[in-house]
Amino acid sequence: MYIRLINKSEDYIERHLDESISLTELARHANFSDYHFHRLFKQYSNETLKQFITRFKLERAAIFMSVNQNMSLTTIALQYGYNDSSSFSRAFKRHFGVNPSTYKKEQEMTRRLPKSMP
């Protein structure tokens, strides 16, 4: 029963990546108190709600950045719910160990490398 609830919450998060998502909002959608919802979420996902949302947004932003090389970091940051590119860059570097512009360059170089033949 709770797995479905967590999956629905994750789906909700995915549909609202460009917004600020609060614990209270998700708990209300699940008809639980903030405390109970957060406890269940952590138990079933092995990370806090904030950790999950941050990780999910950053991983999606990284994929999006790889595919849309010409899009500015500010546009990507806003699209994934960050207020500005500097807060996005700090979070991105904390998560991936490199800043977003370096990541974009690495992705571009990887695509340009010739594929070795077997």
The total number of structural domains in the chain stands at 1
- How many H-runs (helices) and E-runs (strands) does the chain carry? 7, 0
CA distance 114 to 112: 6
Q: Burial letters for 2-21: b for 16+ Cβ neighbours within 10 Å, e otherwise?
A: eeebbeebbeebeeebeeeb
Q: What is the pLDDT of residue 113?
A: 60
14: CATH = 1.10.10.60
Q: Would residue 117 count as lying in a domain?
A: no
Domain that holds residue 6: 2-112
With a cut of 50, which residues of the chain have pLDDT below it? none
Q: Would residue 118 count as lying in a domain?
A: no
Q: What is the pLDDT of residue 18?
A: 84
Q: Would residue 13 count as lying in a domain?
A: yes
Q: Would residue 99 count as lying in a domain?
A: yes
Q: Would residue 80 count as lying in a domain?
A: yes
